[in-house]
Amino acid sequence: MDPEFIRPTRSLEGRVAVVSGAGAAGTGLGNGRACAILLAEAGARVICADISLPSATVTADMITTEFGPSRALAVQCDATSESSAAALATKTLEAFGRIDILVNVVGIAGAVGTAETVSMAEWAKGMEVNVGSMVVMSKACVPIMARNEGQWRGSIVNLSSVAGLRGGTPSLLYPTSKGAIVNLTRAMAAHHAGQGIRVNCVCPGMVYTPMMSSPTSGPPMTPEAREIRKNRSLLKTEGNGWDVAAAVRFLAGDEARWMTGVILPVDAGATCATSTDVPGVGSGT
């Protein structure tokens, strides 16, 4: 066997991961919380960043309880603020000495309405949170990743949605912002390849997370609505945060070392469903 062909490992031992939006309502399993836990399970030390420190602390406590002390740190961070993101990066270096992985999870359903009815102030806020936050967090973390030694110096995984691939209704903001993340990922992959930093994207489909029952996201989802969502996929099932996080963990690690600019649907086949009994994919994924 050629000694130059180094076998990839699933372990993230020695790596430090920053997960934005790592909190979730109560002890619920959101995408960010699931990502933080699975990265820790693979051996990474994890910065659990969230605008709500109590929520981030719950996630960090889950990690340290299961995997041991000093494996996670909760940090309050407004991912849309350059100063807040810079402070987060500084705290990460102080605690763990490096940054290897950035997972951009922060996102909201955002402004409601069509081009005729949407509030432009709410539109701007939604784009800032869903798209701008990923730029802000990357701006803080990329220079630190670039200092790492070796051929592969860093990995960024952005969370979009199948709505960013297929569009959706009823509102304009959500699918537009999620589509922007897709091309943001491709552009970043080109920009940072020379620095040894890979940038990929996961597009979740009909996953059920605490966001689905959050008062800020509208009325709680009814059992009937959940059944409709299940039928939007070929497998006729509903995913959860673990399904999304497993894809993120793969893209973040060495097994995906030859992958960058990849847009990976995790959707039970929703993006390739063509049957007439499969409704169009909308927002809320």
For the chain, what is the domain count? 1
What order do you get walking across the sheet with 154-159 strand by strand?
A: 72-76, 45-50, 16-20, 101-104, 154-159, 197-204, 263-266
Catalytic residue among 174, 231, 250, 268: 174
Measured CA to CA, the distance from residue 50 to residue 54 in angstroms comes to 9
Residue 281 located in a structural domain: no
- Domain of residue 54, CATH code: 3.40.50.720
Residue 119 located in a structural domain: yes
Residue 266 located in a structural domain: yes
Residue 174 located in a structural domain: yes
**Digits of tens for pLDDT over the chain (285 positions)?**
566 788 999 999 999 999 999 999 888 999 999 999 999 999 999 999 999 999 999 999 999 999 999 999 999 999 999 999 999 999 999 999 999 999 999 999 999 999 999 999 999 999 999 999 999 999 999 999 999 998 889 999 999 999 999 988 789 999 999 999 999 999 999 999 999 999 999 999 988 877 665 555 556 678 888 888 788 789 988 899 999 999 999 999 999 999 999 999 999 998 887 653 444 334 444
Catalytic (active site) residue 174: yes
What is the extent of the structural domain holding 185?
A: 16-272
Residue 49 located in a structural domain: yes
Residue 129 located in a structural domain: yes
CB 91 within 8 A of CB 70: no
